[in-house]
């Protein structure tokens, strides 16, 4: 293989390594997930106690704080268990990734983004934090991507695409004993008013 061909192959591979996290094909990110709460002991700031978010909506469970430079406001952050969090808030500890830098054991973990999951009480927040790993892989769904609804199928019977054709192929004998020619009936469907319904698209093409 020539040197030129090797360089042409190497350049795209190196370029992929420089893509920032969040722009991967599946939008999968390693995140250090922390918790914050509105009430129940120390740990909540003035805005959180009043359920005020950075973007306006009242904070509630199912919301999270993110760094908007990495995850746009309005995105859905999907956790491994399928829980989807709405990115509506932010904070200095989230933006400077303090929790990831302090608790990460590897460079990969120390470079992880930080997502702060909101809870109503301190007890709920700590219970969740103690039962889940600190670093998890999350999937980010941008705000302009609509959720595809699952089809609601109520009838599993196949749909007939062509009208049924009634065919009569009886060998009828005449009074003289001769066999009459086969009779074939291909009747068109009639409407409730008695008019004949014809299919204008019965032929291929237009």
pLDDT of 69 reads 96
Distance (Å, whole) CA 86 – CA 92:
18
Calpha distance 140→117 (Å, rounded): 14
Distances (CA, A) of 193 to 63, 88, 187: 59, 60, 16
Average pLDDT estimate for 57-80: 96
Residues of the chain above pLDDT 70, percent: 57
Residues 6+ apart with CB under 8 A from 168: 183, 184, 185
The answer, yes or no, to whether residue 174 has pLDDT greater than 90, is no
pLDDT tens-digit series, residues 43-68: 678 889 999 999 999 999 999 999 99
Looking at the chain, the whole-number percentage of residues with pLDDT higher than 90 is 51
Output 37 or 178, whichever has higher pLDDT.
Answer: 37
- Averaged pLDDT score across all residues of the chain: 74
Structure tokens given for 64: 């999270």
Note the pLDDT of residue 65: 97
Tell me how far the alpha carbon of residue 157 is from its chain's centroid. Answer: 28
At which residue do the structure tokens 């030129």 appear? Answer: 4
197/58: higher pLDDT: 58
Range with the largest mean pLDDT of 62-66, 151-155, 179-183, 197-201? 62-66
Mean pLDDT within 14-18:
38
88 class by beta-carbon count within 10 Å (0-12 exposed, 13-18 middle, 19+ buried): buried
The reported pLDDT for the residue numbered 121 is: 94
């Amino acid at each position: 293989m020539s040197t030129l061909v090797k360089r042409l192959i190497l350049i795209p591979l190196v370029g992929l390594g420089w893509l920032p996290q969040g722009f991967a094909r599946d939008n999968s990110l390693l995140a250090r997930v922390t918790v914050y709460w509105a009430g129940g002991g120390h740990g909540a700031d003035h805005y959180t106690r009043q359920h005020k978010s950075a973007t306006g909506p009242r904070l509630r469970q199912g919301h999270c704080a993110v760094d908007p430079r990495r995850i746009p406001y309005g995105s859905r952050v999907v956790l491994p268990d399928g829980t989807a969090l709405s990115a509506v808030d932010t904070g200095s500890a989230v933006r400077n990734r303090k929790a990831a830098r302090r608790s990460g054991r590897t460079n990969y973990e120390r470079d992880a983004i930080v997502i702060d999951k909101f809870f109503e009480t301190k007890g709920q927040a700590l219970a969740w934090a103690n039962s889940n790993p600190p670093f998890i892989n999350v999937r980010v769904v941008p705000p302009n991507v609509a959720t595809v609804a699952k089809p609601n199928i109520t009838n599993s019977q196949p749909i007939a695409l062509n009208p049924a054709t009634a065919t009569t192929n009886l060998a009828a004998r005449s009074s003289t004993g001769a066999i009459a020619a086969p009779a074939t009936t291909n009747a068109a469907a009639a409407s409730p008013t008695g008019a004949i319904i014809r299919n204008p698209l019965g032929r291929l093409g237009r």
